Structure 1
Amino acid sequence: MSNQSSKRSTGVWLMWALGALMGIIGAAIAIGGGWLVSLGGSLYFLLMGLAMIISAVLIIKIKPAGAWLYALAFVLSVIWAVWDAGLNFWPLFSRLFMFGVLAFLTALAYPFLKLRAGHDGRKTASYSLAGLLAIALLAGFGYTFVPAPIISASEDIPVKPVAPGSEQKNWEHWGNTTHGDRFAALDQINKSNVNQLEVAWIAHTGDIPLSNGSGAEDQNTPLQVGDKLFVCTAYGKVLALNADDGKQLWAFDPKAEAPNWQRCRGLGYFANSEAQPTPSAAAQGDAQPSAAAAEAASQPAAASGETPDQHPTGAAEATPPAAAASQPQTPASNINAAAPAICERRLFLPTIDARLIAINADTGEACADFGDNGVVDLKVGMGEVKPGYYQQTSTPLVAGNVVVVGGRVADNFSTGEPPGVVRAYDVHSGELVWAWDPGNPAVTKLPPEGMTYTRGTPNVWSAMAYDAKLNLVYLPTGNATPDFFGGERTALDDKYSSSVVAVDASTGKVRWHFQTTHHDLWDFDLPSQPLLYDLPDGKGGTTPVLVQTSKQGMIFMLNRETGEPVAKVENREVPQGNTPGERYSKTQPFSVGMPNIGNETLKESDMWGATPLDQLLCRIEFKGMRHEGVFTPPGLDRSLQFPGSLGGMNWGSVSVDPNNAIMFVNDMRLGLANYLVPRSQVPSGASGIEMGMVPMDGTPYGAVRERFLSPLGIPCQKPPFGTMSAVDLKTGKIAWQVPVGTVKDTGPMGIKMHMPMEIGMPTLGASLSTQSGLLFFAGTQDYYLRAFDTANGKEIWKARLPVGSQSGPMTYVSPKTGKQYIIISAGGARQSPDRGDYVIAYALPDQK
């Protein structure tokens, strides 16, 4: 009897615990549901919360009716979830998994409730139901790890072998070519052997981008010429590495400093037409190292060499002990002591403190014949430039005999910030050849004495493209500062803002321009390098097109000779705002002839969360904001911008399979809550760079940007949050689309989940397409380099990286060994505290 009494007592306590759990959750849902109803939202959460509270009370009182009521509420929840979200997995998982767990526990409790009520307590039916629920829950949880396409491929994409003699020789530009195609005509590494890839070597740059709030990020795509690999770090150090083993040949340090936004996405490269790359001593098999290598070898090992404390978890998977060579470091180059010899092959380094430096690609010394001992000061003609207000972050464009630079301008601090001028310099002398000042087209070189280029004008911070045949440089422009109030902007500011501007490469004169956002109030500046492609016209000829991706999730296809749309663009009426002092464009361009990616107008049922609780909070936040689609104008009230100013598509740009006219696009889907703040309420010292309060001095308002996240730090709209899409350029349709990235190395509130759930995370970085039908990409929140099958988007290989990467993969074949390498720079994923200084090469194993 004592044992039986003890079991009953334990059972009662378990019923009370179940009831308390259900009651607490139900109360939270009922309170939040009532709030949501008051905002005009769904009635479901209020009703479900009340049903759970009543069920909880009955279960605590040991009444079987409590189980029956919850069972009914759960069945109705399943019906509601399908009605509200359709048959999409992630929305259903969010709505039902937690309630399913409670249903499982209630099914287990039901026999005890019946027995205590004096009824037959047989357990078979109840436990069978619990078993079915357990199977469903396990299946649902297991499916979170299964990669599933969003859009499945409907037909195969053929692979065309590389014709003998047409193999790629070098990777000389950030996008491989000035057309920005990121395509390599190489097929040694292919679908049949990519799973055999292994680490060939690892180099360390010695420059770890610190995640201390300063904005330092490793976003570099290396260049390769002959047997040398050229890398730049977030702080502007340049290294030449041997292409076969990663050993350092020379290093150049510009000693650049900036308070924020430190990065170097790429270098420019120019060689005199008759010049041939000088092989390194290692490539020549010379027993005596070159002078630069000898000096490097005499130095101690890099201070940033790997230690147990610096080695992130999992790095051993990518770093066999024999693979990582000790990397000697040369002393910082002395720019003022540049060698007098002419540089036959030169690199162009854009610095974070607004200089353009020419470096001898063979020796690592500054080119004395360029500018002032190798340096051009880009602040000349700009007026006052405060530290961090103007700098170079993207690659310079080498277009024939000129090197063209734009510049990043610090958004949203004030009107009258540094000019958005674009300038071209002679690649040999550094002499200014032309300038394009968006605010004063009459100024074509330096401004008149005592004047500056027009301040606060639209700038070009992203990478540019160049068509040698047409002699045109294509500039993707931003908007005039500040971003979210345009009442002070001039007619020329509005004319060239957020546009593709085609200028003559010899003179800088505008040939044509096409605007993608009129009177931009959203920071929808064009973030990516235009793709130049010759599109088959179906009649045996081709049309020279330019394809431009945008932050608003649209893709524009233009004739790059004339600027006229090739894919249809419609000017549609858009919502109008009512902010005093502002003006609004009545219409905006919508690219309807090409796919729109991740920019749908959100509704309440699109809200998401890891559980119904945080989904409910996201619904409440959504209903408390104004959202009228992609061009919802900012105002004094709280509004939702989706996509946010981070994208959509961003600076990683696109890659292409030219043989099949397929373009590969990665995106992120992050919304922003925006609102303007009257000047009197803007606190002194407001200086949010990406998020938070920005002052916008010189206007009547400051502005606030906040990420649209749940309390757990998860995007509030349904997954995926980042995808890879294959776009058929001939039809303007998506050939396939897959989610990219898992929560293995991130999670709620920044806590790593260590589970590779295939949810699709925000992406940032460039991709690489090869002629063997492979697409390489590493710009995810988890720490992997992946290879996808370009025919269908299936992941067919991945390698664990020591830290995340925002860099673009690139590839080359060694002229010495004939081996193809895949290179990735890994310095850390965006928003990740794990940082490193890795350059990693992958190759197929040697044949035995």
Structure 2
Amino acid sequence: MTDTEQQARARRWPLVALGALTLLMGAFLAVGGGWLAMLGGSWYFVLAGIALLASGFLVVRGNPAGAWLFALVLLATAFWALADVGLRFWPLVSRLMALGVLGLLMALAYPALVRASGGKPGKGAYGVAVLLLAALVAAGGYAFVPAPVVAARNPGQPATPVAPGSAQKDWLHWGNTTAGSRFAALEQITRANVGQLQVAWTAHTGDIPQSTGSGAEDQNTPLQVGDTVYVCTAYGRVLALDADTGAERWKFDPQAKAPNWQRCRGLGYFDQDAEAPVATAQPAAACRQRLFLPTLDARLIAIDARTGQPCADFGTNGTVDLSVGMGEIPFGWYQQTSTPLVAGRLVVVGGRVADNWSVDEPPGVVRAFDAVTGQLAWAWDSGNPAITKLPPEGQTYTRGSPNVWAAMSYDAKLGLVYLPTGNATPDFWGAHRTPEEEKYSSSIVALDAATGRVRWHFQTTHHDLWDFDLPSQPLLVDVPNAQGGTDPALVQTTKQGEIFMLNRETGVPLAEVQEKPVPQGNLPGERYAPTQPFSVGMPSIGNTTLVESDMWGATPFDQLLCRIQFKGMRSEGVYTPPGLDHALQMPGSLGGMNWGSVSVDPTTSTMFVNDMRLGLANYMIPREKMPKNASGIEMGAVPQAGTPYGAMRQRFLSQLGIPCQAPPFGTMSAIDLKSRQLLWQVPVGTVQDTGPLGIKMHLPIPIGMPTLGPSLATQSGLVFFAGTQDYYLRAFDSASGKEVWKARLPVGSQGGPMTYVSPKSGRQYVLVTAGGARQSPDRGDYVIAYALPPAAR
């Protein structure tokens, strides 16, 4: 071979490589696009694939026509993308970025193609390359720019000053108050100085939640009473910390065990002196102030808030056994994961039930105990309302009845306890459910706090076959009305992205609710609700019915696979019923909105809602085809023993592990409770600590990731939030949604930020626990307090 031939071959191999790359892309799009077209989907992919095959073949041959044909594909793709998704940035990136990069390479290679064909190249191709490079750089840069989904209507709204004497003194309940406000009337930390927040102290619980296998997660919102902060860990250990230093004062270990789902979201607090004050001269009595710890193994323990010792006068040596009256409880099938509700002198508990093992699950009974003695005050058994305390000898509370696993609320003035209920087990088959179980399933139930009897109830999902149990604490807030006064409202968020606003005294909707027809299923023996309630008077969040053009991917390849997956499923909206075929449930059973609940600024009537947008591919499995090892604690096959079918739940994700629908996958929204309009909505979370196939991208791209955890609102105009998949505590301007501060956490957090002013130092702290974000292997045992430097106060 001569030197000239060697030089010619050396010049040709980049063209062969570029042509081969184009051929591979074309082959993938042509084959996958053909499959999609046969399913009734878009013809773009198969046509583009065929054109790219031809382009790649010509490029390999050294024919400049290959580059021209590619240019036509790129131009046609741009027009198709605009017609398919409009000017939405992230959907356009999915459709154009990969082809744009290949187009840049093609433009740079064009002169070589011309020379290979015997021609003399000009410089026009380099101009095209510069334009493409500029477009790619601009798109890459814009990807890092936060952009609201809904721009703020009144971004300059001032914060309401805290009136003298009305500043918050303590954070006494999981949601700060029994109304679940997660609002602090404090203003030392403001929009103007929040950027100066720094770590004031860090404590370690010594209890790192292990996510592998058991699924333990830190989801705690600490309490603060006076100069002490109280924290519970995923395994139920309780620590008392100095509010100014984080120094440990005492620790209590309940020695609780569970095979899975280990978490302690919050403690209850009861001050007996507030209920029945004692003479000031009397020595401090044991357990006048007590904490209530719900355990993983179905116990309720009262702990002296001063010493960390069990309160001997409560139950049996400080413990009430919650398994009494429940019947058989297999290990891990019944436990306490949410905070007990302290309602006056009562402490009220529900319980988490391992939903989908069997129709013979532990009962969903709700019970109230005397906060001092531990005596059972009343029981509410939705399956058998005649049982008001312990079941008669030889009987149990109703097995498999709807339970209450999320936090409850209490209105002392009305004397009502509000329960967000689940559905009767199992979740995805309901033909066996009794009328009593159906009546209170997936509902808000208002009980008389004194008797435990139902005053009213409102159902948010009829005959729930989707695991649309109510996951969040009802918010109790007075909202302005058209007459210039206020209405006593209850606001309930749901997994399906609906927000219901009811009169909390009567249960009558304050915001319009319409019964709308929904799709019907065809499984033999099952029945289906013909309509479902839609809260049309309030904004819906993240629950629009998906169409093929909503499919997304980091590249055209996983977007195409998502389109194929989508076209192979039934997708009929929020209430697509499960069947033997694959059905798309969007949002899925994680939400929408979940257990973290909402926060509110009552001074501006603004509510803050975070959500996740994760779909599920569901299908039913005939009993004879069920795998023997099915468990499906969260995802996978669930047995549903006692019914004709098991069920399968799979995340609606691309092959890269990315949600198949277009971003954002999680947002924070502000809603005006007076006008009932969406004020702003912003994506929350970046791919800093996650990415395709679970690989951290280390890029602060604000795409908006699924959120899980509570927010905190302050009267100074700030919203704090940590429940993202990246490792940050953030502060948002409550009027605009603009991120005004963030602090890097050592690991992710699902904890609820809370805030307090120390009675000793006068410093306002923002406190959060960080034990690890869901879907992340990084775990820790951190309690971190932030405060302004002394000079900034």
- The TM-score, its normalising length taken from structure 1, stands at 0.92
Q: Label 1:3 to 1:790 Cα distance change in 2 as closer, same or farther (>3 A).
A: farther
C-alpha displacement at 1:538, in angstroms?
Answer: 3.6
Partner residue of 2:137? 138
Structural mapping, 1:118-129, within 5 Å? 118-122=118-122, 124-129=123-128
Cα distance, 1:416 vs structure 2: 1.6
User: Deviation digits for residues 449-485 of structure 1, max 9, x if unmatched?
Assistant: 1100000000000000000000000000000000000
User: 2:347 is matched with which residue: 403, 406, 421?
Assistant: 403
Match of 1:607 in 2: 551
Q: Which residue of 2 aligns with 1:163?
A: 163
Name the aligned partner's letter for residue 844 of structure 1: L
Q: How far has the Cα of 1:144 moved from its partner?
A: 1.2
Residues 273 and 289, structure 2, Cα contact 8 Å, conserved in 1: no
Residues 275 and 345 in structure 2, CA contact (< 8 A), matched pair in contact too: no
Cα 1:638–1:404 change in 2 (3 A) is same
Partners of 1:224 and 1:531 in 2: CA distance: 21
What amino acid is the match of 2:362?
P
Corresponding residue of 2:198: 198
Q: Distance in 2 between matches of 1:3 and 1:344?
A: 96
The alpha-carbon deviation at position 116 of structure 1 amounts to 2.0
Letter in 2 for 1:811: T
How far, CA to CA, are the matches of 1:26 and 1:116 in structure 2?
23
Contact persistence 2:364–2:404 (CA under 8 A): yes
Q: Matches of 1:9 and 1:652 in 2, distance apart?
A: 63
Is residue 271 from structure 1 mapped to residue 266 from structure 2 by the alignment?
A: no
Q: Does the CA-based 8 Å contact 1:341-1:368 persist in structure 2?
A: no
- 1:235 Cα offset (Å): 0.3
Deviations 1:551-599 (A, max 9, x none): 0000000000000000000001110000011000000001100000000
Q: How does 1:513-552 map to 2 (within 5 A)?
A: 513-552=457-496
Q: CA deviation at 1:119?
A: 2.1
The answer as to 2:762 corresponding to 1:814 is no
Give the aligned partner of residue 523 of structure 2: 579
Cα distance, 1:773–1:3 mapped onto 2, change above 3 Å: farther
Given that residues 746 and 752 in structure 1 are in contact (C-alpha distance below 8 angstroms), is that contact kept between their aligned partners in structure 2? Answer: yes
Structure 1 residue 163: deviation in Å?
1.2
**Partner of residue 407, structure 2:** 463
Shift of 1:161: 1.0
Name the SS for the 1:273 alignment partner.
helix
Mapping of residues 746-761 of structure 1, within 5 Å: 746-761=690-705
Secondary structure, counterpart of 1:847 in structure 2: helix
Q: Which amino acid aligns with 2:118?
A: G
Q: Is 1:644 equivalent to 2:644 in the alignment?
A: no
Asked whether the equivalents of residues 275 and 344 of structure 2 are also in contact (C-alpha less than 8 Å), the reply is no
* Residue equivalent to 1:283: none
For the residue of structure 2 that corresponds to 1:593, the secondary structure is: coil
Aligned position for 2:281: none
Give the corresponding residue for 1:207.
207
What residue ranges of structure 2 are gaps of 5+ in the alignment?
279-283
Q: Secondary structure at the match of 2:426?
A: coil
Separation in 1, partners of 2:223, 2:23: 61
The whole-number CA distance in structure 2 between the counterparts of 1:537 and 1:566 is 10
Cα distance, 1:121 vs structure 2: 1.2
Residue 426 of structure 2 is aligned to residue 426 of structure 1: no
Pairing partner for 1:688 from 632, 650, 657 = 632
What SS does structure 2 have at the residue aligned with 1:150? coil
- % identical equivalent positions: 70
Q: Secondary structure at the match of 1:149?
A: coil
1:41 equivalent in alignment to 2:46: no
Tell me which residue corresponds to 1:361: 305
Q: CA deviation at 1:6?
A: 5.0
Cα distance in 1, alignment partners of residues 62 and 529 from structure 2: 64
Amino acid across the alignment from 1:746:
T
Distance 1:23 1:276 in 2: 81
Answer whether contact 2:312 2:318 (CA < 8 A) is retained: yes
Within the alignment, does 1:777 sit opposite 2:721 as a pair? yes
Superposition pairs of residues 665-680 of structure 1, within 5 angstroms: 665-680=609-624
Query: 1:266 corresponds to which letter in structure 2?
Result: G
Matched, 1:253 2:197: no
1:663-690 Cα shifts (integer Å, max 9, x gaps): 0000000000000010000121211111
Paired AA for residue 232 in structure 2: C
Say whether the 8 Å CA contact 1:460–1:475 is kept in structure 2.
yes
Q: CA deviation at 1:164?
A: 1.5
Q: Does 1:563 align with 2:507?
A: yes
Which region of structure 1 is more displaced relative to structure 2, 17-26 or 1-10?
1-10
Structure 1 position 839 matched with structure 2 position 787: no
Distance 1:274 1:527, change over 3 A: closer
Q: Report the CA distance between 1:524 and its aligned residue.
A: 0.2
Among residues 365, 372, 383, which one is paired with 2:316 in the alignment?
372
Give 1:290's aligned residue: none
Once the 2 structures are TM-superposed, how far is the Cα of residue 341 of structure 1 from its aligned partner? 5.8
1:493 CA drift (Å)? 1.0
Shift of 1:15: 0.3
Letter in 2 for 1:624: G
3-state SS of the aligned residue for 1:403? strand
Change (3 A) 1:274 1:102: closer
Residue 740 of structure 1 is matched in structure 2 by 684
Question: What is the one-letter code of the residue matched to 1:533?
Answer: V
Give the distance between the partners of 2:759 and 2:378, measured in 1 at CA. Answer: 38
**Residue 29 of structure 1: SS of its match in structure 2?**
helix
Query: Aligned pair 1:725/2:669, yes or no?
Result: yes
TM superposition shift of 1:117: 1.6
Q: Which amino acid aligns with 1:270?
A: F
Q: Distance in 1 between matches of 2:55 and 2:245?
A: 67
**What does residue 598 of structure 1 align with?**
542
Instruction: Measure, in 2, the Cα distance between the counterparts of 1:541 and 1:98.
Output: 57
SS in 2 for 1:600: coil
CA distance in structure 2 between the aligned counterparts of 1:440 and 1:847, rounded to whole angstroms = 61
Q: How does 1:761-772 map to 2 (within 5 A)?
A: 761-772=705-716
Across the aligned residues of Structure 1 and Structure 2, the Cα RMSD in angstroms comes to 1.4
For 2:286 and 2:446, the matched residues in 1 are separated by 32
The separation in 1 between residues aligned to 2:360 and 2:112, in whole angstroms, is 74
Whether the 8 Å CA contact 1:157–1:660 is kept in 2: the answer is no
Instruction: Report which stretch shifted further, 557-566 or 109-118.
Output: 109-118
CA shift for structure 1 position 3: 7.3
Distance 1:561 1:765 in 2: 28
The question of 1:444 aligning with 2:443 is answered: no
Cα displacement (A) at 1:2: 7.8
Q: What's 2:186 paired with?
A: 186
The worse-fitting range, judged by mean Cα deviation, of 683-692 and 224-233 is: 683-692
Distance 2:499 2:716 in 1: 26
Contact 1:225 1:277 in 2 (8 A): no
Q: Deviations over 1:485-515 (max 9, x none)?
A: 0011100111000000000011000000000
Kept in 2, the 8 Å contact 1:205–1:233? The answer is yes
1:711 alignment counterpart: 655
Distance 1:404 1:3 in 2: 89
> What do the CA deviations read for 1:271-325 (whole angstroms, capped 9, x no partner)?
02359999xxxxxxxxxxxxxxxxxxxxxxxxxxxxxxxxxxxxxxxxxxxxxxx
- For residues 791-819 of structure 1, what are the alpha-carbon distances to aligned partners after superposition, in whole Å with 9 as ceiling and x for unaligned? 11000100000000000000000000000
2:147 counterpart residue number: 148
Q: What is the CA-CA distance between 1:522 and the residue it aligns to? A: 0.1
In 1, the alpha carbon distance for the partners of 2:584 and 2:542 equals: 15
Aligned AA (1:87): L
CA contact (8 A) 1:498 1:515 kept: yes
